[in-house]
Amino acid sequence: MMSLMWGLLTVIFWVSGIVLAGMVAYLLLLTGAAFFARRTTTLRPHPTTRFVIMIPAHNEERLLPDLLTNLQQLDYPRELYTVHVVADNCSDQTAAVAAAHGAIVHERFDQTLRGKGYALEWLLQQIWLRQEPHDAVVILDADTVVSTNFLRVMDARLAQGERVIQAYYAVRQPEGAWSAGIRAVALIVLHYLRPLGRMVLGGSTGLKGNGMVFAADILRQQRWTASLTEDIEYHMRLILAGERAMFAPDTVVWAEMPDSLKSAQTQNERWERGRMEMVRHYVPQLLREGLRRRSFLLIDAAIEQLIPPFSVVTGASVLLLLIALVLGDPAALALAGFVLLGQVVYILSGLILVKAPWPVYRSLLFTPLFVIWKLWLYIRLLLGIKPRDWIRTARNRAPHS
């Protein structure tokens, strides 16, 4: 019996170890490529692109003024962009606040079709009805601020022929709560390092739901979706249709993140449940089409969806190391060591590339707590303990300076 259990443990180790090693090797491939990526955009001296900026807002009277003030200070001709806010099912003063800050306000009330995806699709229809001339559409979350060069960079890239562009989506004030610092680490590798690597290798950066720019005809050809992770689904549809999302690393959108894990739970459950739905629905199609077309772009998009969050990979890697220690096999220890060391290189490379401040490095000390929390969240989802409807993420109480 002991020999049977030992043999079973060995098989489990090598199967899971090879899978994890494959994931880490792929992340290291993207990491190496990222260091060779171009990180600046040559701006045009006289921009001409006309932008419509769309902001979905549900009870955002506190944070929305920051964004609207920020947009008035962009380094871009004011006559070339308009700001539209959809006050979606609001019970506060979001609409009045938006109007007071110069935005074009659209109020929407629909208790059946609730959520960001429905609000964006509805707002698009309102903009088209106005017949407002525009060359590109920007989507920003209401809890966001952007770098002043945002539209200048997007103008230059659109002029170069890019049609779908994702800005670097980062955490606002990552030096605050340790949970915000950990989230900043996760977004640095997911939203900066990996997209940089994909640009070098010929992949698509993906859409992150915030800081997205589309050539105007894109949104007419491909209707916006209303799934839990509408940005991921829209990206899947775009690349299957032959489009490629490009990355603009030199312009940034900073978004507020919950300052506690409890506040972040509903947001993470929504993201992870939506991602699981995308895996089931799109990954087989992406792999099938990628092999048929011999397309790295499609195969890479499928792999991206199959790689769990780094906290889950880290937790599994620690378990792998413990099993290797039990087995006492030098080859097993070497494999487990590669998996863990590879993740250290991957994380530190991302922090180095973005020149992260010291508090973000310090937040890595809380990684064990974050890993335990994220694993528990995954267990809840696998057991079916999950929100069935869209729930607005809790906002931090303290105002930003």
Which whole number is the average pLDDT over 210-232?
Answer: 86
Alpha helices in 257-328 (DSSP H): 261-293, 296-306, 310-327
| Buried b / exposed e along 149-169 (16+ C-beta atoms within 10 A) | bbbbbbbbbbeeebbbbbbbb
Which whole number is the average pLDDT over 339-368?
Answer: 93
Q: What is the DSSP string of 142-202?
A: TTEEE-TTHHHHHHHHHHTT--EEEEEEEESSTTSSHHHHHHHHHHHIIIIIHHHHHHHHT
Per cent of the chain over pLDDT 70 is 89
Given this model, what pLDDT does residue 391 score? 52
Q: Which two tokens stand for residue 296?
A: 């790295």
Write the burial class of residue 384 (CB in 10 Å: 0-12 exposed, 13-18 middle, 19+ buried): exposed
Indicate the pLDDT class of residue 223, thresholds 50, 70 and 90: confident
- 42: which residues sit within 8 A by CB, 6+ positions away? 156
Contact 128, 106 (CB under 8 A): no
Is residue 180 scored above 90 in pLDDT? no
Which whole number is the average pLDDT over 143-162?
Answer: 97
Given this model, what pLDDT does residue 265 score? 59
Per cent of the chain over pLDDT 90 is 65
Indicate the pLDDT class of residue 271, thresholds 50, 70 and 90: low
Q: 66-112: per-residue pLDDT in tens?
A: 999 999 999 999 999 999 999 999 999 999 999 999 999 999 998 88
Given this model, what pLDDT does residue 394 score? 54
pTM of the model: 0.89
Given this model, what pLDDT does residue 267 score? 63
Q: 109-123, 171-185, 234-248, 270-284: lowest mean pLDDT where?
A: 270-284
Given this model, what pLDDT does residue 375 score? 75
Domain assignments of the chain as residue spans, ordered by start: 51-280
3-class secondary structure for 81-120?
EEEEEEEECCCCCHHHHHHHCCCEEEEECCCCCCCHHHHH
Indicate the pLDDT class of residue 230, thresholds 50, 70 and 90: confident
Among residues 298, 313, 334, the alpha carbon closest in space to that of 189 is found at 313
Residue linked to tokens 């079973």: 8
Is residue 395 scored above 60 in pLDDT? no
The CATH-assigned architecture of domain 51-280 is: Alpha-Beta Complex (3.90)
Q: 278-320: per-residue pLDDT in tens?
A: 788 889 999 999 999 999 999 999 999 888 877 788 888 999 9
- How many helices (H) and strands (E) in the chain? 15, 8
208: phi then psi, degrees, rounded to nearest 5: -105, 5
Residue linked to tokens 């659109």: 158
Among residues 223, 241, 218, 88, the alpha carbon closest in space to that of 166 is found at 218
Q: 17-49: per-residue pLDDT in tens?
A: 999 999 999 999 999 999 999 999 999 999 999
Given this model, what pLDDT does residue 397 score? 47
Given this model, what pLDDT does residue 270 score? 65
pLDDT, mean over the chain: 88
Q: Which two tokens stand for residue 35?
A: 């260091």
- 95: which residues sit within 8 A by CB, 6+ positions away? 85, 87, 105, 107
Given this model, what pLDDT does residue 278 score? 78
CB atoms within 10 A of CB 5: 9
Given this model, what pLDDT does residue 196 score? 97
Indicate the pLDDT class of residue 401, thresholds 50, 70 and 90: very low
C-alpha distances (whole Å) from 114 to each of 89, 291, 359, 377, 392 are 8, 37, 37, 24, 10
Indicate the pLDDT class of residue 399, thresholds 50, 70 and 90: very low
Is residue 134 scored above 90 in pLDDT? yes
257 secondary structure, DSSP code: -
| Distance, CA of 243 to CA of 298 (rounded, Å) | 11
Given this model, what pLDDT does residue 398 score? 47
174: phi then psi, degrees, rounded to nearest 5: -70, -15
Pairing assessment for the beta strands 136-139 and 51-57 based on DSSP bridges = parallel
Indicate the pLDDT class of residue 392, thresholds 50, 70 and 90: low
Residue linked to tokens 């589309």: 214
